[in-house]
Amino acid sequence: MSLFHTLARLYTPEDLSSQTNIPLSSQQAHYLCHVLRLKSGDPVRLFNGRDGEFLAKLKLTTKKSPHLDVENRLHPQSPEKGPALVFAPIKNDRMGWMMEKATELGVQELFPVITERTTTRNFNRKRLEARIIEAAEQCERLTIPTLHDSLPLHDFLATWSKDIPILWAVERTKAPTFVEELKRQPTAMTFLVGPEGGFSNSEKEILKETSFMNPVTLGAKILRTETAALSGLTLLQMAE
């Protein structure tokens, strides 16, 4: 294993190339200088989801704010295929945990949908995106999942491409298992989980009549939204 894997790793929205300077946010500077206790000249890894991963050196001077001097590229950017998760928002603390673990499991896109039984219709997007970035930094991935704006379920279904199948987690209903449906549709990479209490009867009827929706079961147990989401994402990751 490369020694570079032991280095601190940070995300930046800035463009990355050799011989450039990258400013640090106050949170990043605090993390590097006070949590990790790095000194000026210590190496750090940087990525932005577009240009690959770079080696940089921490610079602490009296004339400038803390920044990173980019040196050479460690890894080129490569495509990262991964599943998409469609979910009804849940309480912020549980949703943040779900975002974090979904990122670790390779999710590429996150689609919040508002259903009749959705209890959390407003959420702290900035905080969730911070959890996503922290998870991407930790798990060594080169991309950052996209968190889309929330849409009512009906609007989401109306805008979704009919050529892209969605696996829909159902409970108390006879349906193929997740694995069985993946064998039938190996290209399916999008997973839908409903709200606490499940979809309403009218929503279930709409989903049943939607051509690209494919009901699947995760077993006999009734799972919480985040448990169902991570179970499905794990199976999708293993099927890649």
Which residue segments constitute the domains of the chain, with CATH numbers given? 3-75 (2.40.240.20), 84-239 (3.40.1280.10)
What average pLDDT is seen over the chain? 91
Amino acid identity for residue 2 in this structure: S
**DSSP helix/strand/coil, 139:** coil
Mean pLDDT (whole number) for 158-186: 89
Least confident of 3-7, 96-100, 195-199: 3-7
Residue 124 has pLDDT above 80, yes or no: yes
What pLDDT sits at residue 196?
87
Of the pLDDT bands very low, low, confident and very high (cuts 50, 70, 90), residue 62 is low
Kindly give, in sequence order, each residue whose CB lies less than 8 Å from that of residue 88, ignoring residues fewer than 6 positions away. Answer: 112, 113, 114, 115, 117, 118, 193, 194, 195, 196, 225
Cα–Cα distance between 112 and 87 in angstroms, integer?
5
Helical spans, DSSP H, in the chain: 26-30, 92-104, 125-138, 153-159, 178-184, 201-209, 225-239
Residue 240 has pLDDT above 90, yes or no: no
Determine the length of the chain.
Answer: 240
Of the pLDDT bands very low, low, confident and very high (cuts 50, 70, 90), residue 237 is confident
Cα–Cα distance between 145 and 155 in angstroms, integer?
22
What pLDDT sits at residue 2?
60
- pTM, rounded to two decimals: 0.89
